[in-house]
Amino acid sequence: MRASTLAPVAPSEARPADVLRLAWPIMVSMASYSIMGLVDSLFVGQLGTSALAAVGLATSATHLACALWIGCLGGVRVLIAQRSGADDLASARVFAWQGIWLALLAGALTACLAPFAPAMLGLFGASGDVVSQGSGYLGVRLVGSTFVFLVFALQGWFQGRGDTRTPMRAVLAGNLLNVVLDPVLIHGLFGFPALGAAGAAVATALAFGVQVVWLGVAASRDLGARVALRWDDLREILRVGLPMGTHFVLDVASFALFAMLLASVGEAHLAAHVVVVRVLMVSVLPGHAIGEATGVLVGRALGGGQPEVARRSWASGTLVAVAIMSVFGVGFLSVPELLLGPFGVEPDVLELGVGVLALAGLVQAFDAVAMVAVGALNGAGDTRFSMVLGLGASWLVKVPVSVAGVALGFGVVGAWSGVAVELVVLALLAVARVRGGTWLSRGAL
C-alpha cells in the first residue's frame, strides 16, 4: 500500500457495510484457526485416547504460554490503525517493525519454556503416557511460537490499515498446508518419520511459518528498510497492548476455574457446558470479528481527528453485531434440541444443555453490545479501562454468581447464570464509557 492510500477515514466509512467488509475476513481467519485445531485432533485421535488427551492438554498449555504476548501484539494493530488514519506512513512502519522485534523477543522467551513441558503438563494433572506424548507436542509448539507471534505482528500491519483479506488468505494457505502435513508427519507417510502427536505440532508450526512468509512478502514493499529496535516505541506498544494481554490471560484463568467448578458438580453438568460452548462459538466468532473491525475503524477515525466518525463506527458495529447475534439467540431459544442433538449426548446432558442454551440466548444481544464497545475502546487506545472492566466483570461478578448458583443446587444452569449477569454488566458499563466520550480523547496518539 502506497503512502497516498493511507488517507484518513472518510465519513462514509462508518456504515454497517464498512464494518462487515472488514469483519468477514477476520471471522474467516478465526474460524480457520479453530479448524486447524480440529484437524489436529482428528488425526491425533487415530493414535488413541491418551494421545488425544495429551494434545488437548498441551494445546491449553500453549494458549496460556502465548496469551499474554498475543494480547500485547494487539497494540501493534491499534497504533498502526491510528497512524494510518493520520496518514503517517513513517510512524506506522516504525510500529510495525517494533511489533516484529517484540514477536522475536516473545518467541525466544517462550521457547525457553520447552524443557519444562513435562512440568507444565503436570500442573494440569496429567501423568504417565499423557505427559510423555504431550511433552513432545508442547515442546514443539513452544519452540515454534515465534512464527505465531510474527503472524500476529504482521496481521497488525495489514488489519490496522484496513486490509483484513491479506491475513485471511495467509491463514487459509497455512490451514491447507496443515491438512496435508498432519497425516504425513503423524503417521510417517512418503518416507517421513512417524512423529506421532509431535508431528501435529510440527505441521502446525510449519503452517504458521507459511503464514509468516506470505505476510512478509506481501508487506515487504511497504514496510521499507528495517527499522532498529526502539525501546520508547516498544514501550508504547506495551502500554497499549499489555492491558489486553493481561485481560486475555486472566479471562482464560477465570474460565478454567469455571470448568473446575462444573467438574465438581458432575460429569453431566460438565458435558453440557462443553457442548454448549461448541454451539456458542458459532455466534461468538461474528461478534469478535465485528468488535475487532470496529476497533480498526475507530482507531483510524481518531488518528484522522474525526471523533464523530469514530462514534458512528461504534454505532454501526453495534447494529451489525446485535442483528447477527440476536438471530442466533432466537435459534438458541426456539430450537435448542436441534442444535445440541448432533453431539449425540445422553438425555440428561441434553436436558441440562437446553437450559444453558436458553440462558445464553437471552443475553446474546448484550454479548454483542459488549464485544463491540470493548473493541471500540481498544481501538481508541483505552485498553487499561477495558482491562479493568473485563476483569472486574469476570472475577467480581461471574465467578461469585456462578459459585452461588452451584451452591444453591442449580448446577450448570446456576453456573452459567454468572456468565449471563457478567455479560449484562459488561455491556452496560462499556456502553456507559463509550457514551461518556472520555475514550475519544484517550487515544494512543
3-state secondary structure 237-254: HHHHHHHHHHHHHHHHHH
> Which domain, by its residues, includes 333?
254-441
Do 85 and 199 lie in a common domain?
yes
Cα–Cα dist 298/14, whole Å: 9
From 194, 229, 264, give the residue that closes a domain: 229
Say yes or no: 212 and 273 in one domain: no
307 and 395 share one domain? yes
**Where is the domain boundary, 229, 262, 280?**
229
Long-range contacts of residues 273-280, Cβ cutoff 8 Å, at least 24 apart: 273/356, 273/412, 273/415, 273/416, 275/340, 275/343, 275/345, 275/349, 275/353, 276/340, 276/353, 276/356, 276/357, 276/360, 276/416, 278/343, 279/332, 279/339, 279/340, 279/357, 280/360
Along the 445 residues of the chain, how does pLDDT read in single tens digits? 343 344 444 545 678 999 999 999 999 999 888 888 878 888 888 888 788 888 888 888 898 899 999 999 999 999 999 999 888 889 999 999 999 999 999 999 999 999 999 998 887 766 677 888 889 999 999 999 999 999 999 999 999 999 999 999 999 999 999 999 999 999 999 989 999 989 999 999 999 999 999 999 999 988 877 888 899 999 999 999 999 999 988 887 887 788 778 877 887 888 888 788 888 888 899 999 999 999 999 999 999 889 999 999 999 999 999 999 999 999 999 999 998 888 777 888 899 999 999 999 999 999 999 999 999 999 999 999 999 999 999 999 999 999 999 999 999 999 999 999 999 999 999 999 999 887 776 554 4
Cβ atoms 50, 130 nearer than 8 A: yes
- What is the total count of domains within the chain? 2
Please tell me the predicted confidence (pLDDT) of residue 13: 66
Residues 117 and 258 in one domain: no
Q: Could you say which of 212, 229, 246 is where a domain stops?
A: 229
Q: How far apart are CA 349 and CA 185, in angstroms?
A: 37
Q: What is the pLDDT of residue 102?
A: 97
Is 238 within the bounds of a domain?
A: no
Quote the CA–CA distance of 182 and 195 in Å, as a whole number: 10
Residue the block writes with cell 488489519: 159
Q: What is the DSSP letter of 395?
A: I
**Residue 239: inside a domain:** no
The answer to whether residue 242 is domain-embedded is no
217 and 296 inside one domain: no
C-alpha grid cell, residue 414: 446456576
Q: Verify that 193 and 327 share a domain, yes or no.
A: no
- pLDDT for position 8: 46
DSSP labels, 291-331 = HHHHHHHHHHHHHTT-HHHHHHHHHHHHHHHHHHHHHHHHH
Q: How many CB atoms lie within 10 A of CB 188?
A: 14
Do residues 200 and 316 share a domain?
A: no
Name the pTM for this structure. 0.86
Claim to verify: residue 261 and residue 189 sit in the same structural domain: no
| Helices marked H in 163-266 | 165-187, 197-223, 231-265
132 and 268: one domain? no
Are 216 and 292 contained in the same domain? no
Cα separation, 141 vs 155, in Å, equals: 20
| Same structural domain, 200 and 275 | no
Closest C-alpha to 273, from 355, 211, 212, 179: 355
> CB under 8 Å to 353, separation ≥6 — which residues?
272, 275, 276, 336, 340, 345
DSSP 354: H
Q: Are residues 216 and 258 in the same domain?
A: no
In a domain, 152, yes or no: yes
